[in-house]
Amino acid sequence: MELLLFDAFNGLIQGTFYALMALGLSLIISLNSVINFAHGGFMVVGAYLAYTLAPYIGFWGALFAGPILAGFIGIIVERTLVRYMYGRPDPIYSLLLTFGFALIIEDVVRTIWGAQGLPFEIPSALNSPVSTTYFFVTGYRLFVIAAIALATIALFAFLRLSRFGIRIRAGILDLETVSTLGVNVYLLRSVNFAIGTLLAGFAGVLAAGILQLAPTMGDDVIMATFVAVVVGGIGSLLGSVLGGLLIGLAAGVTTAYYPAASDVVIYIIMAVVLIVRPRGLLGQEGLFE
């Protein structure tokens, strides 16, 4: 029972990462109509930049600086490469473009920081165990859950309450109409892409505190993130969060019973969901078909 709780809790943490990644990916898919295979790459970039900056500006500074820089790189990539994809209805092109970019990111990161894993220091205040009664929980893990929950709430508040956020949501529904109403949709798409990559960077910095930094850390996450988006339903932000939590939890619980299947279970869930509910849990008809 204790082991199950422990694995389930770890799965939940994993799920919050997937949810945060899936949220950014989902935003980019919905407004930019781009399937961003480089999303894991932006996560890695955010993490490594935070690692490099941390000795100068401390953990807390790096926690914000890493994601913001990932967002800036997102804008640059959107302006120089991704924008060529907007006129093309077939999603295969954006998928291949970002796939290529993901390869480049991984290679560049490996060249600059090396292929070996690097440890990411977190403040000792966060590193101490909070509870040892049931199982071992460090404060950092609780902090991660809180930080991701806060980021998610902040994003939803931004999309609901701010003028810019409302325009993003309107653009997701009908970009052409939003454009005719005088909104600068180029800016809208750039900023939206940057928000997505910023969230990925944030996930990267938080993940770096639990795992080691490695150039390939994005590879393992990107596919799970896609699974989360598809399980939740493409086009639904809330669905992405649910999908992420669900597959993380499922992987955790599977680890308790049958560790060898913990990687494969998320794909089985996705296959089952697509058979039972072809558009995912909360997906809408017609997007990307």
Partner 1 sequence: MSRRIYVNGAVWLLLLTAALWLPLIGGYMALASRVLVYALAAMGLNLLLGFTGCMSFGEAAYFGLGGYGTGLFLTHLTHSTVLAVIAGTIVGGLAAFLFGPLVMRRRGIYFAMITVAIGQIFYFIAERWNSFTGGEDGLAGFSRQPLHLGFAIVPLDAVAFYYFVLFFFAIGAGVIALLLHSPLGHTFIAIRENRRRAQFLGIHVERYVWASFAIAGVIAGLAGALNALQNNFISPINLYWVESGNLVIMAVLGGMRSFWGPLVGAIIFVGIQDYVSSYFPNNWETFIGGLFIVAVIFFPNGILGIVRRRMKAA
Residues at the site binding partner 1, with contacts judged by CB under 8 A:
35, 81, 84-85, 88, 90-93, 95-97, 99-104, 106-108, 110-111, 223, 226-227, 230, 234, 260-261, 263-264, 267-268, 270-271, 274-275, 278-279, 287-289
In the complex, the smallest distance separating the C-beta of residue 141 from partner 1, rounded to whole angstroms, is: 26
CB of 102 to partner 1, least distance (A): 7
Choose between 19 and 97: whose C-beta lies nearer to partner 1: 97
Nearer to partner 1, 95 or 126 (CB): 95
Q: How far is the C-alpha of 122 from the C-alpha of 130, rounded, in Å?
A: 15
Closer to partner 1 at the Cβ: 134 or 288? 288
Cβ closest to partner 1, residue 50 vs residue 270: 270
State the minimum distance, in angstroms, from the CB of residue 38 to partner 1: 10
Query: Smallest distance, Å, CB 233 to partner 1?
Result: 10
Q: How far is the CB of 213 from partner 1 (least distance, A)?
A: 18
Q: Alpha carbon of 134 to those of 2, 12, 71: distances in Å?
A: 6, 16, 39
Comparing CB distances to partner 1, the nearer of 142 and 223 is: 223
- Give which of 232, 215, 239, 158 is closest to 192, Cα–Cα: 158
Q: Find where tokens 């694995």 sit.
A: 7
Beta-bridge partners for 138: 129
Which residue, among 82, 102, 96, has the nearest Cα to 192 in the 3D structure?
Answer: 82
- Residue-wise over 111-149: b if at least 16 C-beta within 10 A, else e? eebeeeeeebebeeebeeeeeeeeeebbbbbebbbebbe
Count CB atoms within 10 A of the CB of residue 158. 14
